[in-house]
Structure 1
C-alpha cells in the first residue's frame, strides 16, 4: 500500500471517555428519540427524518443552525456490531460529502471509551475538512453526547 492509499493519512480521529456505562451510551447513539437531543454542535436543533438502524439501512437528520439555515446529514449503515462499533457512509450537505464515519465503543467499568474516525476520500480533502473545523464541530457534538448521557 502506498503512502497515498493509506487510510491513516485520510482519517481524522476524536476520542472521549464518557462517564456513563456502555449500554447507556449505545442507547443514546442508536435510539432516534435520544439522537435529536445531542446530535449536532452546540446551538443546533436536530430532527430525525429517517433512522433504519440495520446494516444497509439509512439515516437522515435535518440540522437547523442558530441563524435558521438548515442542512442535511445522511448516510447508510455499513456495519453494526452491537455495543462495539457502527460504520456508516455520511454526507453533511453542503459542507462534507463522501466520508465514512466509524464510532467505536468499549466498556471501561462504568465508563465508556469512545473513538470516532472520519475517513475521507483523499488526503487533501481530509486536510481541508480539518481546517474547516472538524475538531471543534465534532468535539462539540461529543460534548453534548457526554452531557446527555450524564443527565440520563
Structure 2
C-alpha cells in the first residue's frame, strides 16, 4: 500500500522464525495470548482467517462495557503479509492494518503499518498512545513467540 503520509508504523525484530510469528497473527488461540495491554483478557468472538473473513476480539473494560476490535481480512499472503480493515470501538474506525513479515538471519522482522483516512484521525491515534499501546502488545507477542 502506498504511503500517503497518513500511516503510523512500528518495526520490530523478534527472536523467532517467521512461522512462529505468523502463527501469532493467524491462530486465534495464540492471538488471545498477546493482543491488548498486559493483564487484559481477550475474548475471541470471531476469527475467520481467510480473505474476506471477519474478526472480532473483545476486551472487557472496568465499567462493564467491551472494547471492540474488529475488521475484515482483505489480503493474506501466507507467512508474509496480512492486510485487514480495522475498527477499534469506541475510539477509532475505518483504518487499515498491514502486517509484513520477513526472515532476517533466523529472526523475524515485522513491519506494522496502520493507514488512516485523515490527518486528524492519525493525530488522534498518536495522542491516544498508539506507539505505547501497540508497543506493549508487541512486547507480549515477543514473549509468546
Specify if TM > 0.5: yes
Pairing partner for 1:132 from 123, 128, 134: 128
Tell me the secondary structure at the aligned position of residue 135 of structure 1: helix
Q: Which residue of the partner structure matches residue 83 of structure 1?
A: 79
**Cα displacement (A) at 1:67:** 6.2
Please state if 1:50 is matched with 2:46: yes
Query: C-alpha distance in 2, partners of 1:125/1:62?
Result: 22
**Cα displacement (A) at 1:8:** 3.5
Q: Which residue of the partner structure matches residue 116 of structure 1?
A: 112
Q: Which residue of the partner structure matches residue 93 of structure 2?
A: 97
Query: C-alpha distance in 2, partners of 1:117/1:99?
Result: 10
How many pairs align? Answer: 144
Q: Which residue of the partner structure matches residue 27 of structure 2?
A: 31
Query: C-alpha distance in 1, partners of 2:119/2:128?
Result: 14
| Structure 1 unaligned spans of 5+ | 1-5
Query: C-alpha distance in 1, partners of 2:65/2:50?
Result: 30
**Cα displacement (A) at 1:96:** 1.1
| Structure 2 unaligned spans of 5+ | none
Please state if 1:19 is matched with 2:15: yes
TM-score normalised over the length of structure 2: 0.94
Query: C-alpha distance in 1, partners of 2:106/2:8?
Result: 27
Root-mean-square deviation (CA, aligned residues, Å) is 1.4
Query: C-alpha distance in 2, partners of 1:84/1:53?
Result: 14
TM-score normalised over the length of structure 1: 0.89
**Cα displacement (A) at 1:19:** 0.6
